[in-house]
């Protein structure tokens, strides 16, 4: 059964769900990657140490079926190695140096190390669905994660095995909801997003502005949160928050936290 933002899931209280505390939410994109290698334990520590409560991460499966926190399918960009994540065991991946004495970490390690943090988890490949579900169940983290995937089949496969978990719309679902919102078809928007709790989208896509006041209003009226990526500019942050956006996914969580604090004064 779908759980709306802020409502209970399982035996935990409502204030222990992914959607608490109240928005606006600052989601540190791959941790605070301006201070440490992206998607590493140090990047997460850096983000959490400045007051971030949400981490936006990506996962792939290792050769031996471990959910590994990594954005890319290969190691070229982050480690200069012509290998894919799924060609190496997790033990082998941990020996890859990413800088600042950091290496790859598993989803289980991160969920276990930061029990108070909320995680938005982007499933990057079909093979990582099972390992991700296992990591979440093993750490009893269902209430504090959100499952995201561009592919709706992949997203649904994970959600099916995690009753009550928060989830965001796939690209196709959002595209249809966006079109319905532009046509002022509110009942259709509500129908299209009935099985998700949030949409996580760019401000623009291929030159088209995705996030407008009317689109935000339509989505929020349909009962879903709106999170926008990847927003690093202070002026853009203010503009989006003025529209009523619920979350900013950002490389500069330090700036975003300051913006939110200033707006509350």
Domain end (from 140, 167, 194): 167
Same domain? For 139 and 217 the reply is no
Does residue 235 fall inside a structural domain?
yes
Q: Which of 29, 60, 100, 191 is catalytic?
A: 29
Q: Is the pLDDT of residue 243 over 60?
A: yes
Per residue in 31-62, pLDDT (tens digit) is 999 989 999 999 999 999 999 999 999 999 99
Does residue 7 fall inside a structural domain?
no
Is 98 within 8 Å of 79 (Cβ atoms)?
A: yes
Same domain? For 185 and 206 the reply is yes
* Total tally of structural domains belonging to the chain: 2
| Summary mean pLDDT of the chain | 94
Does residue 1 fall inside a structural domain?
no
SS3 assignment, position 255: helix
Confidence class for position 28, pLDDT limits 50, 70, 90:
very high
Give CA–CA dist 56/39, Å, rounded.
9
The pLDDT assigned to 72 comes to 98
pTM of the model: 0.93
Question: Domain limits at 77?
Answer: 23-167
Give CA–CA dist 57/44, Å, rounded.
10
Same domain? For 145 and 35 the reply is yes
The pLDDT assigned to 82 comes to 95
For residue 23, report the phi and psi dihedrals to the nearest 5 degrees.
-70, 165
Q: What mean pLDDT do residues 236-264 have?
A: 97
Same domain? For 160 and 201 the reply is no
The pLDDT assigned to 21 comes to 83
Same domain? For 86 and 112 the reply is yes
Does residue 49 fall inside a structural domain?
yes
Tokens found for residue 201: 């989208």
Does residue 3 fall inside a structural domain?
no
Does residue 5 fall inside a structural domain?
no
The residue ranges of DSSP E strands in the chain, in sequence order, are 25-29, 54-61, 67-69, 118-123, 145-148, 166-167, 198-202, 204-205, 208-209, 225-229, 247-250
Domain end (from 143, 167, 191): 167
Same domain? For 29 and 125 the reply is yes
Same domain? For 89 and 215 the reply is no
Same domain? For 219 and 133 the reply is no
Residue with token string 């990582």: 128
Same domain? For 115 and 105 the reply is yes
Proportion of the chain above pLDDT 70, given as a percent:
94
71 is known as an active-site residue: yes
Same domain? For 98 and 178 the reply is no
29 is known as an active-site residue: yes
Confidence class for position 22, pLDDT limits 50, 70, 90:
confident
Does residue 46 fall inside a structural domain?
yes
Same domain? For 161 and 47 the reply is yes
Dihedral sign for Cα 164, 168, 170, 172, please: positive
Report CA dihedral (25, 26, 31, 35) to the nearest 10 degrees. Answer: -160
Per residue in 213-230, pLDDT (tens digit) is 999 999 999 999 999 999
Any idea what the CATH number is for the domain that residue 59 is in? 3.20.20.190
Does residue 14 fall inside a structural domain?
no
The residue ranges of DSSP E strands in 62-101, in sequence order, are 67-69
Same domain? For 93 and 77 the reply is yes
Q: Is the pLDDT of residue 123 over 60?
A: yes
Q: Which of 71, 100, 191, 238 is catalytic?
A: 71
Domain end (from 167, 194, 223): 167
């Amino acid at each position: 059964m779908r759980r709306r933002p802020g409502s209970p899931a399982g035996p935990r209280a409502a204030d222990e769900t992914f959607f608490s505390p109240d928005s606006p939410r600052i989601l540190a994109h791959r941790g605070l990657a301006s201070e440490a290698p992206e998607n590493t334990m140090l990047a997460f520590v850096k983000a959490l140490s400045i007051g971030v409560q949400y981490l936006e991460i990506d996962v792939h499966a290792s050769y031996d079926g471990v959910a590994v926190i990594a954005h890319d399918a290969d190691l070229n960009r982050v480690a200069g190695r012509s290998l894919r994540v799924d060609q190496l065991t997790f033990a082998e991946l941990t020996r890859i140096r990413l800088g600042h004495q950091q290496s790859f970490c598993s989803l289980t390690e991160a969920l276990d190390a930061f029990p108070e943090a909320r995680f938005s988890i982007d499933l990057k490949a079909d093979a990582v669905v099972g390992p991700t579900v296992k990591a979440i169940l093993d750490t009893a983290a269902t209430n504090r994660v959100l499952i995201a995937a561009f592919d709706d089949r992949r997203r649904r496969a994970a959600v099916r095995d995690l009753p009550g978990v928060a989830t965001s719309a796939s690209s196709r679902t959002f595209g249809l909801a966006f079109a319905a919102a532009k046509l002022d078809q509110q009942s259709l928007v509500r129908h299209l997003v009935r099985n998700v709790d949030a949409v996580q989208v760019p401000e623009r896509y291929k030159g088209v502005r995705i996030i407008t006041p009317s689109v935000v209003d339509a989505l929020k009226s349909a009962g879903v949160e709106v999170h926008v990526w990847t927003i690093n500019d202070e002026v853009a942050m203010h503009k989006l928050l003025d529209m009523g956006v619920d979350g900013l996914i950002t490389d500069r969580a330090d700036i975003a936290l300051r913006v939110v604090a200033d707006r509350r004064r």
